[in-house]
Amino acid sequence: MTLHYMLGALRYEFRMQVRRPTVWITFIVITILLFLQFNQGLDRLNVVIPDALAHYPLLSVIAEWTFSMNTYLPLCIGALLADRLPRDRRTKVDELFTTMPATLNARLFGKYLGSMLATLIPMLLVYFGVIGYILYLTHNMLVIPLALETFAVIVLPGVLFVSAFSMACPAIMWVPLYQFLFICYWFWNTLWFHKELFNLGRTILSPVGLYIAFGFYGIEPLHTQGPHGNPGIHATPVLAGASILLLVGIALLVMFVLERFLKWRQARL
């Protein structure tokens, strides 16, 4: 895979995806609904965060916010990336790309990373909106590097996992069907706070990062109260690391299989 061509595809995909109004509208609507549903608006947020900062370490509060956001907002990323490859086929752009010197591998991984990073931008703005509020309350500049760390550790493995499946699955199924199934899967996956129901949310395969957040950052005390409660898992740093490796490894495997499938389909045309 030529790095030069992959970076070129990444830049192209990023610019195109970040300019799509649908990306921004989706995140705005979902974020507003989540704040209204779980926090009863900003007034509730003004109570919860200062109270958490008064009783728990700064890193735990930041990790808790990171995990809470990651429980829901990747839903937008998975749904928005689902039409990426079908859109190229529909507009015949993929036929044009095959005439270029870049390999399919370079184009595919550039498309994957570029569209994923662009779709992460609205999520980052939501994330750093609350991080900015924490910084305002604490006057501690450590908030910024800690926020970057928890975002990279808790959020990125699951986003890589979700993005890979959202690129690959629509190659073999109708996009609206995949989006519907993905949304159903995500709501089932976020039932981690219901111990009596089996779901992937309480396994190391959880893209919401339950084992990562609990194993590395020990946010269990923040879940002993409230509507979600403690999920009743025994998370350790070893299991947290295993969760990261598993999510990233499966994402790479899915992209490898997708590349082979696209080469096979291209050879049959």
Local confidence band at 97 (pLDDT 50, 70, 90 cut-offs): low
Report the half-sphere exposure of 132 (CA within 13 A, side-chain side).
6
Q: Which residues contact 257 (CB under 8 A, 6 or more apart)?
A: 168
For 76-94, how does the pLDDT look when each residue is reduced to its tens digit (9 = 90+)? 999 999 988 887 676 655 5
Instruction: Please report the sign of the dihedral spanned by the C-alpha atoms of residue 55, residue 56, residue 62, residue 64.
Output: negative
Q: Which domain holds residue 156?
A: 3-268
What's the pLDDT at 99?
53
What's the pLDDT at 42?
58
Distance CA 170, CA 115 (A): 15
- pTM exceeding the 0.75 threshold for the entire prediction: yes
For 105-116, how does the pLDDT look when each residue is reduced to its tens digit (9 = 90+)? 888 898 999 999
Per-residue tokens: 127 = 């994330």
Decide: 205 and 185 in contact? Cβ < 8 Å: no
Give me the number of domains the chain comprises: 1
Instruction: Please report the sign of the dihedral spanned by the C-alpha atoms of residue 237, residue 149, residue 157, residue 258.
Output: negative
Place of tokens 């070893």: 238
SS3 55: helix
For 165-214, how does the pLDDT look when each residue is reduced to its tens digit (9 = 90+)? 999 999 899 999 999 999 998 888 776 666 677 777 788 998 999 899 99
Report the half-sphere exposure of 52 (CA within 13 A, side-chain side).
25
For 206-259, how does the pLDDT look when each residue is reduced to its tens digit (9 = 90+)? 899 989 999 999 887 666 544 455 667 788 999 999 999 999 999 999 999 999
- Could you count the other beta carbons within 10 Å of the beta carbon of residue 202? 22
Place of tokens 């704040």: 35
Distance CA 240, CA 153 (A): 10
Nearest to 124 by CA among 246, 24, 192: 24
Distance CA 246, CA 157 (A): 9
